[in-house]
Protein backbone atom coordinates (compact mmCIF):
# COMPACT_ATOMS: atom_id res chain seq x y z
CA UNK A 1 0.00 0.00 0.00
CA UNK A 2 2.90 2.32 0.77
CA UNK A 3 4.24 2.10 -2.80
CA UNK A 4 0.80 2.81 -4.25
CA UNK A 5 0.53 5.94 -2.09
CA UNK A 6 4.05 7.10 -3.02
CA UNK A 7 3.27 6.80 -6.74
CA UNK A 8 -0.11 8.50 -6.62
CA UNK A 9 0.58 11.68 -8.58
CA UNK A 10 1.36 10.46 -12.09
CA UNK A 11 -0.94 10.46 -15.10
CA UNK A 12 0.82 7.25 -16.20
CA UNK A 13 0.39 5.09 -13.09
CA UNK A 14 -3.01 3.82 -11.89
CA UNK A 15 -4.20 6.06 -9.05
CA UNK A 16 -4.90 4.67 -5.59
CA UNK A 17 -7.65 6.42 -3.61
CA UNK A 18 -7.08 4.58 -0.36
CA UNK A 19 -8.16 1.41 1.36
CA UNK A 20 -10.89 0.12 3.60
CA UNK A 21 -11.99 -2.95 5.49
CA UNK A 22 -15.53 -4.17 4.96
CA UNK A 23 -17.56 -6.95 6.52
CA UNK A 24 -19.75 -9.19 4.39
CA UNK A 25 -23.21 -10.41 5.38
CA UNK A 26 -21.73 -13.65 6.75
CA UNK A 27 -19.22 -11.75 8.92
CA UNK A 28 -16.07 -12.19 6.82
CA UNK A 29 -13.68 -9.25 6.73
CA UNK A 30 -12.32 -8.02 3.39
CA UNK A 31 -9.45 -5.64 2.75
CA UNK A 32 -10.19 -3.42 -0.27
CA UNK A 33 -7.78 -1.23 -2.19
CA UNK A 34 -9.65 1.57 -3.96
CA UNK A 35 -8.10 2.12 -7.40
CA UNK A 36 -8.83 4.26 -10.41
CA UNK A 37 -11.34 2.71 -12.82
CA UNK A 38 -9.60 1.67 -16.04
CA UNK A 39 -12.57 1.07 -18.33
CA UNK A 40 -10.42 0.45 -21.42
CA UNK A 41 -9.23 -2.93 -20.13
CA UNK A 42 -5.62 -4.03 -20.42
CA UNK A 43 -3.28 -3.44 -23.32
CA UNK A 44 -2.95 -7.21 -23.58
CA UNK A 45 -6.70 -7.68 -24.07
CA UNK A 46 -6.78 -4.84 -26.60
CA UNK A 47 -4.11 -6.56 -28.68
CA UNK A 48 -5.76 -9.97 -28.34
CA UNK A 49 -9.05 -8.45 -29.55
CA UNK A 50 -7.43 -6.81 -32.59
CA UNK A 51 -8.24 -9.76 -34.81
CA UNK A 52 -4.64 -10.86 -35.19
CA UNK A 53 -3.54 -7.69 -36.99
CA UNK A 54 -2.14 -5.89 -33.95
CA UNK A 55 -2.53 -2.19 -33.24
CA UNK A 56 -1.96 0.71 -35.62
CA UNK A 57 1.53 2.22 -35.39
CA UNK A 58 0.25 5.60 -34.15
CA UNK A 59 -1.54 3.86 -31.26
CA UNK A 60 1.58 1.85 -30.38
CA UNK A 61 3.57 5.10 -30.39
CA UNK A 62 1.12 6.76 -27.97
CA UNK A 63 1.09 3.76 -25.61
CA UNK A 64 4.88 3.54 -25.79
CA UNK A 65 5.20 7.18 -24.73
CA UNK A 66 2.76 6.66 -21.85
CA UNK A 67 4.47 3.51 -20.60
CA UNK A 68 7.97 5.00 -20.75
CA UNK A 69 6.75 8.06 -18.84
CA UNK A 70 5.18 5.78 -16.24
CA UNK A 71 8.33 3.69 -15.88
CA UNK A 72 10.46 6.83 -15.56
CA UNK A 73 8.11 8.11 -12.86
CA UNK A 74 8.28 4.83 -10.94
CA UNK A 75 12.08 4.62 -11.25
CA UNK A 76 12.53 8.32 -10.34
CA UNK A 77 10.66 7.59 -7.11
CA UNK A 78 13.04 4.77 -6.25
CA UNK A 79 10.94 1.73 -7.17
CA UNK A 80 10.94 -1.05 -9.74
CA UNK A 81 7.67 -2.62 -10.92
CA UNK A 82 8.99 -6.21 -11.22
CA UNK A 83 6.09 -7.45 -13.37
CA UNK A 84 5.70 -5.21 -16.43
CA UNK A 85 3.67 -7.07 -19.05
CA UNK A 86 0.82 -6.27 -21.43
CA UNK A 87 -1.87 -7.38 -18.97
CA UNK A 88 -0.49 -4.99 -16.32
CA UNK A 89 -0.79 -1.96 -18.60
CA UNK A 90 -4.31 -0.61 -18.18
CA UNK A 91 -6.16 1.78 -20.47
CA UNK A 92 -8.21 4.77 -19.32
CA UNK A 93 -10.33 7.15 -21.33
CA UNK A 94 -8.98 10.65 -21.91
CA UNK A 95 -10.99 13.82 -22.42
CA UNK A 96 -10.40 13.54 -26.18
CA UNK A 97 -12.10 10.09 -26.41
CA UNK A 98 -8.69 8.45 -26.72
CA UNK A 99 -7.04 5.96 -24.41
CA UNK A 100 -4.06 6.53 -22.15
CA UNK A 101 -1.87 3.65 -20.99
CA UNK A 102 -1.27 3.48 -17.25
CA UNK A 103 0.93 1.11 -15.32
CA UNK A 104 -1.02 -0.95 -12.82
CA UNK A 105 -0.64 -4.06 -10.68
CA UNK A 106 2.12 -2.78 -8.43
CA UNK A 107 1.81 -5.70 -6.00
CA UNK A 108 5.31 -7.00 -6.78
CA UNK A 109 6.96 -3.57 -6.91
CA UNK A 110 9.81 -2.90 -4.51
CA UNK A 111 12.45 -0.36 -3.71
CA UNK A 112 15.26 -0.11 -6.25
CA UNK A 113 18.59 -0.12 -4.54
CA UNK A 114 21.62 -2.30 -4.59
CA UNK A 115 23.40 -3.20 -1.42
CA UNK A 116 26.08 -5.91 -1.67
CA UNK A 117 25.20 -7.03 1.87
CA UNK A 118 21.73 -8.02 0.59
CA UNK A 119 23.01 -9.92 -2.43
CA UNK A 120 21.88 -13.32 -1.13
CA UNK A 121 18.60 -12.04 0.32
CA UNK A 122 15.75 -12.47 -2.18
CA UNK A 123 13.39 -10.20 -0.25
CA UNK A 124 15.45 -7.04 -0.33
CA UNK A 125 16.44 -4.47 -2.93
CA UNK A 126 16.89 -5.52 -6.55
CA UNK A 127 18.13 -9.02 -5.88
CA UNK A 128 15.90 -12.06 -6.29
CA UNK A 129 13.44 -13.03 -8.99
CA UNK A 130 9.95 -11.53 -9.12
CA UNK A 131 7.38 -11.23 -11.83
CA UNK A 132 6.40 -13.14 -14.92
CA UNK A 133 9.28 -15.26 -16.23
CA UNK A 134 8.59 -14.53 -19.91
CA UNK A 135 9.10 -10.80 -19.36
CA UNK A 136 12.20 -10.97 -17.15
CA UNK A 137 15.49 -9.57 -18.37
CA UNK A 138 18.27 -12.08 -19.08
CA UNK A 139 20.37 -10.48 -16.31
CA UNK A 140 17.70 -11.25 -13.73
CA UNK A 141 17.16 -14.83 -14.89
CA UNK A 142 20.92 -15.47 -14.95
CA UNK A 143 21.36 -13.75 -11.53
CA UNK A 144 23.63 -11.03 -12.89
CA UNK A 145 23.66 -7.74 -10.98
CA UNK A 146 22.10 -4.99 -13.10
CA UNK A 147 20.64 -1.52 -12.76
CA UNK A 148 17.04 -0.47 -13.33
CA UNK A 149 16.45 -0.41 -17.08
CA UNK A 150 14.04 -0.91 -19.91
CA UNK A 151 14.89 -4.49 -21.01
CA UNK A 152 11.37 -5.66 -20.19
CA UNK A 153 9.80 -2.90 -22.23
CA UNK A 154 11.42 -4.35 -25.35
CA UNK A 155 9.61 -7.60 -24.64
CA UNK A 156 6.32 -5.70 -24.34
CA UNK A 157 6.63 -3.94 -27.68
CA UNK A 158 7.75 -7.14 -29.40
CA UNK A 159 4.66 -8.94 -28.07
Per the CB < 8 A criterion, the answer to whether 33 and 3 are in contact is: no
Rounded CA-CA distance 155/83 in Å is 12
Residues 28, 21, 74, 114, CA torsion sign: negative
Closest CA to 70 of 106, 111, 19: 106
Q: Which residues contact 132 (CB under 8 A, 6 or more apart)?
A: 83, 85
Class of residue 122 by CB neighbours under 10 A (exposed 0-12, middle 13-18, buried 19+): exposed
Is 66 part of the annotated catalytic residue set? no
Among candidate residues 83, 87, 120, 123, the one labeled active-site is 83
Residues with active-site annotation: 83
Amino acid sequence: MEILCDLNSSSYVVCCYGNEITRSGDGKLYYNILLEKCCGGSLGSRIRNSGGVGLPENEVRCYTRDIVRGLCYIHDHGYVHCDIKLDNILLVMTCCNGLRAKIGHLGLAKEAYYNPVDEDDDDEGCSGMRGTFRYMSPELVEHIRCSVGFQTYGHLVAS
